[in-house]
Amino acid sequence: MDNKKTTNLLKTARGQLDGIIKMIEEERYCVDISKQILSVQGLLKKSNLEILNNHMRGCVKDAMQEGNGDEKIEEIMIILDKYIK
């Protein structure tokens, strides 16, 4: 599994979170802070999708080939259910 893309997304999100905290401490404009929070949420969603993509192409694929993929599919469905709510 290639974690580089996910790691970079999360590091970017971490940097933006630090920036948001600084903005709050400096009492910056609320709408600007909110926009930055939405940006971080987008990065977290992208990183989560990347993790799930890697999981499906690795763990789920292997489990399907071994004949026991139902459990892995159920795990993905639980995550997707949470994701879309």
* pLDDT at residue 80 in the model: 87
Predicted TM-score of the model (pTM): 0.82
Return the domain boundaries, the chain. Answer: 4-84
Local confidence band at 16 (pLDDT 50, 70, 90 cut-offs): very high
CATH number, span 4-84? 1.20.58.1000
* Full DSSP string of 17-45: HHHHHHHHHTT--HHHHHHHHHHHHHHHH
Q: With contact defined as beta carbons under 8 Å apart, do 73 and 20 qualify?
A: no
